[in-house]
Chains A and B, each alone.
Chain A
Amino acid sequence: METIATKDVLTLSVALGESMLACGAEIYRVEETVQRILQTYELEDSHVYVISNGIFASSNVGGDGCSLIRSVPLGTIHLGKIAAMNQLARDLAARNCSVSEGWERLRQCQELPPPHKRMAVLCRGIGCSAFCLLFGGSMTDALCAGVIGMVLGLHMNWQERLSMARFAKCLFNSMLVTLLSFLPLWMGLAVSQDRVVISGIIPLFPGIAFTTSVRELFNSDYLSGVIHFVDALLTALCIAAGVGIVISLC
């Protein structure tokens, strides 16, 4: 068996964990993945600590020691990358894949494309109108919500290029949606504006982050739970503030 430095294994496994975390994988899953790879390479004295926006890991085997800290900003969910990296982690843990191969495959995983732009816009529209129907909106409401959702999608594509604070983006997005929801009213269409607004901004809402945070709290990942909780709360407040500002102005 080839001898592999502790550092190589630790760096690879933490890099893999970092990417998984950035794509929205669960905390305990990331921790387990890194630990399993380290175990496979018999790095006995290893410790991994993962929170929602960082990884700390150290390993010390017979004087060959190494420790790593990674800061991982909260990212957007990419399930395709999670699936691919999950497979890679499984292969690494089963020793079906060497360390150098692992780096190559990790790079391939990271290069998986984000969802197609136009497709994402269309799907945002479909999602918004579907939610509008579920909230008890009429067909006209759903149509308006769908169009607003698509405009929002286009706006978000454009916004990606700007280096603006995330919360400022949230504020502007929700202001845009609320403003647009007044248009059908001014045009004399019979819509229930309330429903159109909610369905328009529902894809922005941190519903999943909120649920994840409660899950983490139950899982006794208290720190991660609190980070996601505060993040969800602030996002929600920004969105609601955007709606409130526009409604009180119009």
Chain B
Amino acid sequence: MFVETCIIFAAVISFCVLFAAPRNEWFFCGLGGSVSWMAYQFLKSKNVHFAFAVLGATVVLALLAKLFAILRRQPATIYLLPGIFPLVPGAGIYYTSYFLIMGDWERFSQMGVETFETAAAIALGIILVSALPDRKKS
């Protein structure tokens, strides 16, 4: 668990570099990504359906992003995009299109639905948090 969290931290920070995030925010991006991954693992260990686990993890990440955005006066996207990378169904999209090309219809539809569920869960998580009232206009 600890090792995995460290790996996520490193992965998220390396994506911060690829996305050219401001250097001072790298640590916070990594923190958000690791904490949301921990939430995901925790939910999964409680036998929650994977879509709900993703939803929970996204809500945690989006809340953290919002908190960092207020504390550090930056747009929340900066923390959201790199932090979401471990949750995003990249492998799912790959398998879906791979099975499509290989003509494996059964696994294609199964993987496709799963991928779409994950993406929808992430989107819903972000939207739920963005529905919370914003900070007061200064």
- Where the two chains meet, the residues of A that have a C-beta atom closer than 8 Å to any C-beta of B are 24-26, 29, 77-83, 86-87, 94, 112-116, 119-120, 122-124, 126-127, 130-131, 133-135, 198, 201-203, 205-208, 210-211, 214-215, 217-219, 232-233, 236-237, 239-241, 243-244
* Chain A residues whose C-beta falls within 8 Å of the C-beta of B18 in the assembled complex: 115, 120, 123-124, 127, 203
What are the residues of chain B within 8 A of A77 when measuring CB–CB? 19-20, 81
| Cα(A241)–Cα(B102), bound, Å | 9
Q: Are A218 and B77 in contact (CB under 8 A)?
A: no
Residues of B contacting A113 with CB < 8 Å? 20
Asked if B101 contacts A237 (CB within 8 A), the reply is: yes
User: Hey, what's the 0/1 contact readout for B101-138 against A, CB within 8 Å counting as 1?
Assistant: 11000000000000110011011101100000000001
Q: Are A135 and B22 in contact (CB under 8 A)?
A: no
- A131 contacts which chain B residues (CB < 8 A)? 11
CB closest chain-A residue, reference B116? A214
B93 within 8 A of A: yes
| Residues on the B chain within 8 Å of A211, using CB | 84, 88-89, 119, 122-123
Contact residues, B70-85 vs A (CB, 8 A): 73-75, 77-78, 81-82, 84-85
Q: Please encode chain B, from 7 to 32, with 1 for each CB lying within 8 Å of some chain A CB and 0 for all others.
A: 11011011111111110010000000
Tell me the bound Cα distance from A206 to B117 in angstroms: 16
CA distance A49 to B14 in the complex (A): 34
Does B86 sit at the interface, judged by CB under 8 A? yes
CA distance A211 to B101 in the complex (A): 22
Whether A80 contacts B101 in the complex (CB less than 8 A), given A205-B94, A207-B90, comes out as no
B96 within 8 A of A: yes
B102 and chain A: residue at smallest CB distance: A244
| B35 interface hit (Cβ, 8 Å) | no
Of the candidates A25, A79, A232, which one forms a contact with B19 in the assembled complex, judged by CB atoms under 8 Å apart?
Answer: A79
Q: Is the CB of B85 within 8 A of A240?
A: no
Which of A78, A79, A116, A219 has the most chain B CB atoms closer than 10 A to its own CB? Answer: A79
Q: Is residue B38 within 8 Å, beta carbon to beta carbon, of the partner chain? A: no
Looking at A24, A131, A236, A244, the one whose CB has the most chain B CB atoms below 10 A away is A236
Is the CB–CB distance between A243 and B84 below 8 Å? Answer: no
Asked whether A82 lies within 8 Å of B75 as measured between CB atoms, the reply is yes
The residues of A that contact B73 with a CB separation of less than 8 Å are 87
Q: A149's closest neighbor in chain B, by CB?
A: B14
What is the CA–CA distance of A135 and B94 in the complex, to the nearest angstrom?
A: 14
Chain B residue with the shortest CB-CB distance to A241:
B101
| B32, chain A: closest CB distance, angstroms | 13
Contacting pair B101 A127 (CB below 8 A) = no
